[in-house]
Amino acid sequence: MLRIYDTRARQVEEIAAERALRMYTCGPTVYRYAHVGNLRTYVLSDLIRRVLERRRVRVVVCQNITDVGHLIDDSSDEGEDKVLAQARAEGRSPLEMARFYEDAFRNDTAALNLRPPEHTPRASETIDLMIDLIATLVEKGHAYTVPDGSVFFDARSFPTYGEISGNRLDELKPAHRIEAVDPRKRFHADWALWKPGKGELTWETPWGRGFPGWHVECSAMSLRFLGSRFDIHTGGMDLRFPHHEDERAQSDSAAGHEVVRHWVHGEHLLFDGRKMAKSTGNVVLLSDVVAAGLDPLAVRMAFLEHRYRQQLNLTWDTLRAADRTVRRWRTRVAEWAESVSAPLSQSHVERVEAAFDDDLDTPAALRILRELERDESVPPGAKFETFLHLDQVLALDLSIEIGKTPVLPAGASELLEARARAREAGDFAQADRLRGSLAELGVRVSDTPEGQTWV
C-alpha cells in the first residue's frame, strides 16, 4: 500500500485504505490565473489518487473554490478581499471575475490530465455551512463574539495547536508591534471566523452582516462533504501555517476528535532560482508553456522528475527536456504498437509500482522506465503494454501517437473555427471560454506560434 510523508507525524506512514479513501485538497483563490507553481500541488493530489486507484481503492476528493474571504494579507485579519480588489481593478463584478478564473483553472487542470474532484464547493455558495460551524464553536466555548460583529477562534482552547507546523502558541509572537495587537482579541494568536462588512460578498448572520474568514471555509466544506473523519488532507508547504493549523483547530474542536488522519504537503517551486510571484515578475502560466511550443504535459513530466517533497527549480531548459522525453516516448509507444503483442514486463511493473508506493518516488519510477526503453531483451510488444499500463498513473498521454488522427466530435469543428477567429480579433476571454467548451467535448486545445492545435 502507499506510504507517504505525514507532516504532522513527521514520518512516512502507510495509508490504510482497503476499499475507499476520502481526500481534501485546498483549492484555488480565483482572482487570477494559476501559475505552474500553484499547479504542482494539484498534481500531487492527482498522483495520490491515481496510485491508490491502481490498488483498486475508490478515492473521493473534495476541492474547494475560494471566491470570498481570502484577504490580500494572508497573515492578517484586516485588509481587503483578494477577489474584490481584483474585480475592481478589472472593472468586473466579483463573481463574474471569479467564475472566469475558476474556468481558467479547470482548463489548466484538464490540460495536465488531473482527475476532476467529486466535490468542488464554492465558498460563496456554502456560507450557511460556515455559519453553522461558527455557531457550534461559539456554543462549545472555542470561539467568542465581540461587539462589532466579529467572531474569533480562541486559540488557547485548542492545546495541541502547532502540531503540523511546529509553531506552538506559547512561542508565537504578535505579527506587528505589541501596541498594534488587535484589542478585540483575547490573545494575539486568535483569528477571525467572521468579520463585519457591508456591500458585495457579505451576508446576514446572528452576529451581523459580514463575511467569513479564509480558514473557516475549508473546515466547513471538508466536514460537510467528507465527514467528521477523513483520510488525507493535501496542500502546499506555505499552507501549513497558519491556514492548516487554524483549520485543524476548528475542525477538531467542532467534531471533538482528530478529523484528518494524514496531512501531506508539497514543496515550493522556483523558476530560474527565484520564487514564483507576481511581485518579482517571475510568474509562468501553463499558457506560457504552450505558447512556447511545448506540450502542457511537459510540465507534469517535469514535476514527476522530482519528489513532491523536494524544492523544484524549474527552468525553460528543464521544460524543453521534459517535452522531448514525452514526445519521444509517444513515438516509441507508437512504434512498439506495430509489434506482436506480448505480456507486461512484470519485473519492471513491480519495480515502478514499488517506487510509486514508496512516498511517491516518481524520479525512481521514471529511471526504471528509461531502463525498460533501452532494454533489448524485452520484446517491443511487452514494452508497449508496460508503458501504457503505467501511464494510468503517469498520465502523459503516451498513446496519443497511435493510429490515425482522431476524429473531432460533433460541434467541435465549429468551436475550433470560432476560437481561431476570437484569437485573431484579440478576444482572449472568449477564446478561453471556447477552450473550456472544447474540453467538455474531450478536445484539448494548445496554442503554438503556428496557431492552435488539438488532440
Name residues whose C-beta falls within 8 Å of residue 92's C-beta, 6 or more positions apart in sequence: 100
Surface-to-core class of residue 170, CB atoms within 10 Å of its CB (0-12 exposed, 13-18 middle, 19+ buried): exposed
Distance from C-alpha of 370 to C-alpha of 328, rounded to nearest angstrom: 11
Q: Is 62 annotated as a binding residue?
A: no
Q: Is 401 annotated as a binding residue?
A: no
Distance from C-alpha of 91 to C-alpha of 77, rounded to nearest angstrom: 26
Q: Is 247 annotated as a binding residue?
A: yes
Q: Is 70 annotated as a binding residue?
A: no
Distances in Å between the Cα of 403 and the Cα atoms of 193, 388, 398 are 56, 15, 12
* 154 Cα distance to chain centroid: 29
Distance from C-alpha of 415 to C-alpha of 427, rounded to nearest angstrom: 14
Q: Is 243 annotated as a binding residue?
A: yes
Closest among 243, 273, 242, 222 to 117, alpha carbons compared: 222
Q: Rounded to 10 degrees, what is the CA torsion of 146, 228, 170, 149?
A: -10
Residue 274, beta-bridge partner list: 271
Distance from C-alpha of 380 to C-alpha of 333, rounded to nearest angstrom: 9
Distance from C-alpha of 60 to C-alpha of 301, rounded to nearest angstrom: 25
Residue 236, beta-bridge partner list: 266
* Helix count and strand count (H, E) for the chain: 14, 15
Q: How many CB atoms lie within 10 A of CB 405?
A: 7
Name residues whose C-beta falls within 8 Å of residue 261's C-beta, 6 or more positions apart in sequence: 229, 230, 231, 232
Query: Looking at 100-222, which runs of residues are DSSP E strands?
Result: 143-145, 151-153, 191-196, 210-212
Per 3-state DSSP, what percentage of the chain is helix, strand, and coil (rounded to 5)?
45, 15, 40
Q: Please report, as a single letter, which amino acid is at residue 8.
A: R
Closest among 189, 154, 210, 204 to 76, alpha carbons compared: 189
Residue 262, beta-bridge partner list: 232
Distance from C-alpha of 198 to C-alpha of 200, rounded to nearest angstrom: 7
Binding residues for ATP, by number, are 278
Binding residues for Zn(2+), by number, are 26, 218, 243, 247
Binding residues, by number, are 26, 218, 243, 247, 278
